[in-house]
Amino acid sequence: MAIAFGLIIAIILIKYRPVYEVTVSGQKIGYVKSEAEIEERIQSEIIEMEGKNIDFVSLDDMPSYELKLVSRTQETNEEEIMVALVEKATIMYKYYAVILNNETQAFVDNIEEAEQAVNQIKANHQGDTIQLDLQITENYTENIEEIGIETVQVAQAQVEQKVSALIEEDEKSRMPKINGVLIAATPVQGKITSRYGSVSSVRSGAHTGTDIACAKGTDIHVVSSGTVTFAQRDGSYGNLIKVDHGNGVETWYAHCDKLYAKVGQTVEAGDVIAAVGSTGNSTGPHLHLEIRVNGQTINPQKYLYN
């Protein structure tokens, strides 16, 4: 009896072999030779998976195993099972957001370099008047490819560009305005030789502008964007350029040596429109600057050279 039973077992083992059937969420995904070995691989290759920005990996549906006798022609498929388990795993990635004044500027993946970059930006703008609230926040995602990770160098450049824009905006907010027209540039640098409203024997009435003495040929910059409406000689003004800035605001630049801008030309604040001279009723090279609002002169030194 025992011999017969042994023969039966031997015949079974010749035709069949024991393996473990692997099931996940009630679905059979294959066979493995060793439950212990596959569990060890799951732990080391999935749960403890290492990679850039991987924070942790979880496998919510762990496989179950059932010992089976299968035909010796049935192959095990450990590699396919591992691939299937990786696809079912939740891989959580860590990344960092660089935030300036509550607005996200970039996403990076290296906290140490990001902190160095932020500290450098703060140091670069320590003396600026604008408020810089620079922060780095820690974030998580299951799909790092959708985030748009930048290198820290690119992120730093983006933040610096934004900071420059904020500084420019802040400077503009501090610049004077006339009827909503921003006075954004100084025409020339020089010494004030005659102020608005002053009376002199060389004039028939009170001075209608501000005179700034500087070398002949010095570039004259338009104070604000606008359109050139006059560019030619005009009696005692000598060579004169008039620029209309809208809202009834007009600027005049007199006694020029050369006129560069043309009538109808659109100019931007800071553009060079002429050169300092001494044409017309002038005792030496200087710029006579007038500001007019609705045709009436006003004191330029309320807005410039004060």
Read off the pLDDT of residues 239-281 as tens digits, 9 standing for 90 and up: 999 999 999 999 999 999 999 999 999 999 999 999 999 999 9
Q: Which tokens hold the place of 80?
A: 């396919």
Q: Which tokens hold the place of 183?
A: 């006075």
Residue 8: pLDDT band by 50, 70, 90 thresholds? low
Q: Where are the alpha helices (DSSP H) in the chain?
A: 2-15, 35-41, 78-88, 111-124, 152-174
Query: Which residue shows structure tokens 């954004």?
Result: 184
Read off the pLDDT of residues 30-49 as tens digits, 9 standing for 90 and up: 999 999 999 999 999 999 99
| pLDDT score for 9 | 58
Query: Which residue shows structure tokens 């039973």?
Result: 5
For 205-224, give the DSSP string: SS--SEEEE--TT-EEE-SS
Residue 172: pLDDT band by 50, 70, 90 thresholds? confident
CATH number of 181-302: 2.70.70.10
Residue ranges covered by each domain of the chain: 2-88, 94-174, 181-302
Residue 71 has pLDDT above 60, yes or no: yes
Residue 230 has pLDDT above 80, yes or no: yes
Are 231 and 220 within 8 A, CB to CB?
Answer: no
Residues forming beta bridges with residue 21, ordered by sequence position: 31, 66
Taking the CB of residue 70, how many other CB atoms lie within 10 A of it? 14
Distances from the Cα of 38 to the Cα of 34, 59, 139, 267, 306, angstroms: 6, 14, 32, 75, 82
Residue 187 has pLDDT above 70, yes or no: yes
Residue 101: pLDDT band by 50, 70, 90 thresholds? very high
Q: What end-to-end distance do the CA atoms of the chain give, in Å?
A: 120
| pLDDT score for 170 | 86
Pairing, β 249-259 against β 286-293: antiparallel
Residue 182 has pLDDT above 80, yes or no: yes
| pLDDT score for 171 | 82
Please give the torsion angle defined by the CA atoms of residues 104, 109, 112 and 118, in that order, rounded to the nearest 10 degrees: -20
Q: How many residues does the chain have?
A: 306
Report the pLDDT averaged over residues 112-140.
92
Q: Between residues 12 and 95, which one has the greater pLDDT?
A: 95
Pairing, β 226-233 against β 64-71: unpaired
Are 300 and 266 within 8 A, CB to CB?
Answer: no
Please give the torsion angle defined by the CA atoms of residues 288, 293, 296 and 299, in that order, rounded to the nearest 10 degrees: -50
